[in-house]
């Protein structure tokens, strides 16, 4: 048994709190969670049953926290966790779970299975059992500042284009700005239109904002792989930059897990509350609209539907703002049957999109979204997560579907009444 | 002789083991603790917990089609069992005499029969599903089967002893109920209590985020 594996088991043991103990005590192995998981519903492979993915954690808990486990262990009837358990479960824990949280919404005894899988990743990553793609992304995030290797120079190049196209000056490192905006690397590289939209909307609303040269990256690979130290370091960079600039609000971009990382997990990772608040871009836009600081004109009569990013909606609680905003610019907005907190994941969250090994399974799981779209008969899907957007576009292309995926923020910017509103 | 033992010391032992065991398990869980959440709450953890404790009695639409058999069988079994346990005249008399000194109205005989049929049908369907469905077959362990079989035997002997004309049948039923009580705290049967905790913890977390879970 290697030292690294032992450290991983120790970390796994440290995750067993009252929540996990109550979950493992309550689970009656009904398997209903399987029906909520797109990796099971699209493959019918029982191994993808969410609660089955927590088996290594359950094995450890049983051996050390239950009467029969302790008895069996002392009599040599129960085998301790081995490296082969970790090796066998690595793909289940990382490739076939997007941490979407849908299983946690249907468990009859209320188990937050996603929370347990997220915690298992802590032990697995310390033990070295994590996908290479995610390890590399985390390494790049720590050393370069972005999982995709984007540096601030790349950001500056993207901002120069935005400034040229909009005629607006993008504020960098502005002291005491009200809002500090983060971006995901994917937005900087693949969707600079998002940055342009933000610039136009904030200008129209008279928002005092800035981008930090020290912490522009919103994503957090440490959360996805389950490396607490890496996750804390990445959150810490944002906190240091925001508090240094005297920022009131940090704006989480159209990225699902970035919101979970900075909004919900961040303070717990660094061990203290922030001196600022975190707001998701959709919450902010909804607020600006409600206050009359942004005015929208014209309604799109194209039939549209909304893909809810799991970490923003189900795991993040930003449920109504995207609907309010989309209704204000779309005449024919129709919900999918399963929507809001019961939406189906794109299949690429929780680091799955950074895990090349999982690609085939991910594309197979996209059958669920394909079915949802076909059932609805709508060819324009609005979303608010750059990762969802890429994954959805890949899935649509793979299935040769003629569906357009657009960003909600970008859609709003298209309907923006230009000209500043008094602050 | 054996009858006196089952009726007397073993009953008190099993009841004591049950109470101490259940309390011990619950205290052990609570003592494991939950780290304080330092993020700013959007909603109320308390309201979220209360909501989820009750809302999970109703299944989400997304699982009602493919899990229909399990859901219906689950309701049949649990509702039937609760009626048998707390509203059958012999149980009310037993509880009044041996534990609380309090009694309450029993259900009519025909309700008892219907409840028993529901409970048996539900339990048998759940167990068949457990062994035949690939998902539950993969998940299930010895504890799941022992729990199901014990409950079945307690219910079966209970129905056989209903007439109370055969003392031996009553003693067999009581003996199995005592085995059940002793086994309970060491098993998944604990979910009868801890479901409140697991739902509560999840509901509180989601409630803070402003999500109705």
The tens digit of pLDDT for each residue in A217-253 reads: 999 999 999 999 999 999 999 999 999 999 999 999 9
Does any domain span residue B134? yes
Per-residue pLDDT at B162: 79
- CATH code assigned at A246: 1.20.1050
Does any domain span residue B51? no
The pLDDT tens digits for A360-393 are 999 999 999 999 999 999 999 999 999 999 999 9
Does any domain span residue A298? no
Cβ distance A35 to B61 less than 8 Å, yes or no, reads no
Euclidean distance between CA atoms A30 and A11, whole angstroms: 28
Does any domain span residue B82? no
Q: Are residues A283 and A311 in the same domain?
A: no
Mean pLDDT, chain B, whole residue set: 95
- Angle, in degrees to the nearest 10, between helices A113-127 and A3-14: 160
Does any domain span residue A299? no
Domain with A149, as residue range(s), is 135-290
The pLDDT tens digits for B137-155 are 999 999 999 999 999 999 9
Per-residue pLDDT at A58: 97
Q: Are residues A159 and A284 in the same domain?
A: yes
Q: Which residues contact A34 (CB under 8 A, 6 or more apart)?
A: A40, A41, A46, A48, A49, A50, B135
Rounded percentage of chain A residues whose pLDDT exceeds 70? 99
Cβ distance A105 to B134 less than 8 Å, yes or no, reads no
A13, A21, A22: best to mutate for the B interface, most B CBs within 10 A: A22
Query: Do the beta carbons of residue A128 and residue A121 sit within 8 Å?
Result: no
Chain B hits for A40, CB-CB cut-off 8 Å, are 135
Task: Say how many CA atoms lie within 13 Å of B93 toward its Cβ.
Answer: 6
- CATH code assigned at A76: 1.10.1060
Residue A335: pLDDT band by 50, 70, 90 thresholds? very high
> How close is the nearest chain A Cα to the Cα of B123, in Å?
13
Q: In total, how many domains does chain A have?
A: 3
Mean pLDDT over B2-24 rounds to 95
Which B-chain residues 43-62 have CB contacts (< 8 A) with chain A? Answer: 43, 52-53, 56, 59-62
Per-residue pLDDT at B100: 84
Widest CA span in chain B: 65
Task: Say how many CA atoms lie within 13 Å of A189 toward its Cβ.
Answer: 13
Q: In total, how many domains does chain B have?
A: 1
* pLDDT exceeds cutoff 60 at B205: yes
Residue B167: pLDDT band by 50, 70, 90 thresholds? confident
Per-residue pLDDT at A17: 97
B41, B211, B212: best to mutate for the A interface, most A CBs within 10 A: B211
Per-residue pLDDT at A422: 46
* pLDDT exceeds cutoff 60 at B169: yes
Mean pLDDT over A127-135 rounds to 96
Domain stop point among A130, A163, A178: A130
* pLDDT exceeds cutoff 80 at A419: no
Q: Are residues A283 and A317 in the same domain?
A: no
Neighbours of A174 (CB within 10 A): 17
Does any domain span residue A300? no
Does any domain span residue A50? yes
> Of the candidates A98, A189, A197, A100, which has an alpha carbon nearest to the alpha carbon of residue A406?
A197
Mean pLDDT over A320-337 rounds to 97
Euclidean distance between CA atoms A10 and A123, whole angstroms: 7
Per-residue pLDDT at B66: 87
Euclidean distance between CA atoms B138 and A372, whole angstroms: 29
The pLDDT tens digits for A92-126 are 999 999 999 999 999 999 999 999 999 999 999 99
Does any domain span residue A422? no
Per-residue pLDDT at B164: 62
ipTM above 0.90, yes or no: yes
Q: Are residues A355 and A368 in the same domain?
A: yes
Which B-chain residues 152-191 have CB contacts (< 8 A) with chain A? Answer: 186, 188, 190-191
Chain-centroid distance of CA A254 in Å reads: 10
> What sign has the CA pseudo-torsion B192, A89, A145, A407?
negative
Q: Phi/psi at B110 (nearest 5 deg)?
A: -70, -30
> Of the candidates B78, B142, B64, B205, which has an alpha carbon nearest to the alpha carbon of residue A264?
B205
Q: Report yes or no: B67 at the A interface, CB cutoff 8 Å.
A: yes
Q: Are residues A271 and A178 in the same domain?
A: yes
CB-nearest to B62 from A52, A112, A342 is: A342
Domain with B16, as residue range(s), is 2-29+88-209
The pLDDT tens digits for B89-102 are 999 999 999 888 89
Q: Are residues A282 and A394 in the same domain?
A: no
Q: Are residues A38 and A82 in the same domain?
A: yes
> What sign has the CA pseudo-torsion A232, A235, A237, A241?
negative
- Bridge partner residues of A216 (DSSP): none
Euclidean distance between CA atoms A116 and A120, whole angstroms: 6
Neighbours of A420 (CB within 10 A): 10
* pLDDT exceeds cutoff 60 at A257: yes
Q: Are residues A199 and A282 in the same domain?
A: yes
Neighbours of A331 (CB within 10 A): 12
> How close is the nearest chain B Cα to the Cα of A263, in Å?
7
Query: Do the beta carbons of residue A155 and residue A119 sit within 8 Å?
Result: no
Chain-centroid distance of CA A181 in Å reads: 17
Q: Are residues A149 and A262 in the same domain?
A: yes
Q: Which residues contact B57 (CB under 8 A, 6 or more apart)?
A: none
Domain stop point among A262, A290, A318: A290
* pLDDT exceeds cutoff 80 at A400: yes
Q: Are residues A31 and A125 in the same domain?
A: yes
Chain A hits for B70, CB-CB cut-off 8 Å, are 30-32
The pLDDT tens digits for A137-189 are 999 999 999 999 999 999 999 999 999 999 999 999 999 999 999 999 999 99
Does any domain span residue A420? no
Q: Report yes or no: B132 at the A interface, CB cutoff 8 Å.
A: no
Residue A423: pLDDT band by 50, 70, 90 thresholds? very low
**DSSP H helical ranges for B96-163:** 109-132, 134-139, 142-160
> Of the candidates A391, A382, A387, A386, which has an alpha carbon nearest to the alpha carbon of residue A414?
A382
Q: Are residues A240 and A312 in the same domain?
A: no
**Six-digit token pair at A283?**
């919450």
Per-residue pLDDT at A45: 98
Token pair 């076939």 in the structure block, residue: A96
Residue B65: pLDDT band by 50, 70, 90 thresholds? confident
Domain stop point among A81, A114, A130: A130
Q: Are residues A360 and A326 in the same domain?
A: yes
């Amino acid at each position: 048994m290697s030292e690294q594996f032992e450290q991983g088991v120790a970390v796994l043991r440290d995750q067993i709190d009252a929540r996990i103990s109550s979950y493992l005590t309550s689970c009656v192995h009904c398997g209903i969670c399987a029906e909520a998981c797109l990796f099971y519903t699209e493959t019918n492979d029982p191994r993808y049953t969410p609660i089955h993915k927590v088996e290594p954690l359950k094995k450890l808990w049983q051996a050390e926290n239950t009467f029969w486990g302790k008895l069996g262990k002392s009599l040599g009837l129960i085998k301790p966790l081995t490296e082969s358990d970790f090796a066998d479960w690595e793909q289940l824990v990382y490739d076939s779970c997007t941490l979407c949280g849908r299983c946690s919404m249907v468990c009859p005894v209320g188990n937050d299975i996603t929370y347990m899988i997220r915690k298992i990743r802590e032990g697995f990553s310390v033990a070295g059992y994590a996908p290479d793609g995610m390890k590399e992304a985390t390494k790049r995030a720590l050393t370069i500042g972005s999982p995709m290797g984007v540096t601030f120079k790349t950001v500056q190049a993207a901002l120069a284009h935005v400034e040229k196209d909009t005629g607006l000056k993008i504020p960098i490192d502005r002291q005491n700005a009200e809002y500090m905006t983060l971006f995901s690397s994917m937005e900087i590289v693949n969707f600079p239109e998002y940055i342009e939209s933000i610039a136009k909307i904030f200008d129209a609303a008279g928002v005092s904002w800035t981008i930090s040269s020290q912490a522009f990256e919103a994503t957090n690979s440490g959360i996805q792989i389950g490396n607490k130290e890496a996750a804390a370091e990445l959150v810490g960079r944002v906190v240091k930059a925001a508090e240094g600039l005297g920022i009131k609000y940090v704006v989480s971009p159209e990225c699902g897990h970035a919101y979970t990382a900075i909004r919900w997990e961040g303070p717990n990772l660094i061990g203290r509350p922030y001196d600022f608040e975190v707001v998701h871009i959709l919450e902010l836009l909804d607020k600006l609209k409600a206050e009359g600081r942004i005015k929208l004109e014209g309604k799109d009569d194209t039939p549209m539907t909304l893909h809810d990013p799991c970490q923003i909606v189900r795991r993040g609680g930003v449920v109504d703002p995207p609907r309010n905003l989309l209704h204000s610019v779309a005449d024919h907005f129709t919900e999918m049957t399963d929507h809001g907190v019961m939406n189906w994941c794109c299949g690429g969250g929780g680091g799955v999109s950074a895990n090349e090994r999982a690609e085939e399974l991910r594309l197979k799981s996209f059958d669920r979204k394909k079915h949802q779209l076909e059932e609805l008969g709508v060819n324009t899907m609005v979303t608010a997560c750059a990762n969802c957007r890429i994954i959805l576009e890949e899935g649509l292309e793979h299935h040769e579907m003629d569906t357009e995926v657009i960003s909600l923020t970008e859609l709003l910017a298209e309907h923006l009444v230009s000209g500043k509103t008094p602050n | 002789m054996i009858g006196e033992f089952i009726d007397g010391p073993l009953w008190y032992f099993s009841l004591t083991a049950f109470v101490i065991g259940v309390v011990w398990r619950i205290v052990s869980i609570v003592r494991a603790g939950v780290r304080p959440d330092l993020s700013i709450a959007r909603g109320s953890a308390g309201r979220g917990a209360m909501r989820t404790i009750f809302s999970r009695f109703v299944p989400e639409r997304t699982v009602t089609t493919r899990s229909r058999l399990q859901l219906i069988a689950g309701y049949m079994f649990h509702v039937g069992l609760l009626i048998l346990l707390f509203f059958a005249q012999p149980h009310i008399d037993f509880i009044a005499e041996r534990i609380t000194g309090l009694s309450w109205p029993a259900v009519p005989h025909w309700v008892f029969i219907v409840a028993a049929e529901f409970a048996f049908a539900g339990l048998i369907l759940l167990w068949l599903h457990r062994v035949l469905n690939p998902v539950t077959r993969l998940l299930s362990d010895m504890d799941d089967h022992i729990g199901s079989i014990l409950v079945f035997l307690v219910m079966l002997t209970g129905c056989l002893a209903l007439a109370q004309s055969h003392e031996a049948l009553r003693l067999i039923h009581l003996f199995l109920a005592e085995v059940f009580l002793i086994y309970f705290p060491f098993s998944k049967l604990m979910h009868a209590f801890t479901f409140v905790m697991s739902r509560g913890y999840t509901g509180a977390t989601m409630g803070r985020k402003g999500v109705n879970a």
